[in-house]
Amino acid sequence: MRNRGILSLVAIGVLASSLSVGTVKAEGNEFELARKAIERQVEKPLPKGLVDSAALNQLQVEIKGSAKSSDKMGTVSRASSEDDYTIEEEYNDDFNSANRISFEKVAVGQLLPLGDVDVYKVVVPRGGVLLVGGQTNSYSIDLGFGAMQKDFVENSNLEYLGYEYDYEYDVEALAYQAKKGTYYVGVIDRDNDYIDNNTEEDLYAIGTIFIDNVKPSKPTVKRVDDNDKVVKGKAEANSTVTVKAGSKKLGSAKASSNGNYSVKIKAQKKGTILSITAKDKAGNTSSKATTTVVKH
């Protein structure tokens, strides 16, 4: 990976002195396992349009250190304040000791001493895209990072989609299609097996963003007759359910927290075909369910 950009983090000297290097216990085996897992994620460019470009840009801006708080992008988990970051806490060299990283804060850390591995834990709330971005302030660090499952398990729960490198911000972002669950981000200095030339002022930043790109399941719908003025059924919790007859919208309502919905409509003639869809907060729309109005 080509992360050799320069961080513009605020008070970089304060951050460097705040990190605890003395408690690090570098374990060579963990470094090698992490490096192999990271390098298995080949440099595959992210196909255009696969991931929301606004989300990629926001992640790159935040990691660069000049992000402004914003909650305008409903599909993206956002930071609530400016200059919002956490500092790495050692010992964090394996899965069980991983630091927690959220979608709201960038994590800043060091890779000291030789062979150090830093591990972060991130919780994906539901199926979607996990973006992981990274950058370093030092040419002494050949930054390697990647998302993985605990104990390096590989299956369809976490699928690598590719990377995008932004030359304006000098930030690389990796994208993964992830199912709901807990995942880990490993960070290494890939030249650390050759020379230990890092100092306390050599830093990296890692950030994550979640994008909900998974459409809700098709709603279920109960029997509707020609006297009914309500369509009922089950849909994704808190989604907006819309009922149509052809292209005509008959009504919509929000599903409850347990998925029940009740949409008011005008009574329809026997034989009318109704279509029902659910749209989540991220704007993903389900496949349509259909039902035919029957005689009372």
Domain boundaries in the chain? Answer: 12-211, 220-292
What integer pLDDT is reported at residue 60 of this predicted model? 81
Question: Does residue 46 surpass a pLDDT of 50?
Answer: yes
Give tens-digit pLDDT for 205-235: 999 999 999 999 999 999 999 999 999 999 9
Q: For residue 170, is it left (φ>0), alpha (ψ between -120 and 50) or beta?
A: left
* CATH C-level class of 12-211: mainly beta
* CATH C-level class of 220-292: mainly beta
The confidence band for 183, taking pLDDT boundaries of 50, 70 and 90, is very high
Of 140, 87, 83, which is closest to residue 118 (Cα–Cα)?
87
Question: Does residue 83 surpass a pLDDT of 60?
Answer: no
pLDDT, mean of residues 272-285: 95
What integer pLDDT is reported at residue 8 of this predicted model? 42
Q: What percent of the chain has pLDDT over 90?
A: 58
What integer pLDDT is reported at residue 75 of this predicted model? 39
pLDDT, mean of residues 47-53: 81
Q: Kindly report the number of other CB atoms within 10 A of residue 43's CB atom.
A: 11
Against a cut of 0.85, is the pTM above it? no
Please tell me the distance from the alpha carbon of residue 172 to that of residue 184, in angstroms, as a whole number: 17
DSSP 15-59: HHHHS--TT----HHHHHHHHHHHHTS---BPPTTSS-HHHHHHH
pLDDT, mean of residues 240-266: 97
Q: Do 220-292 and 12-211 have the same topology in CATH?
A: no
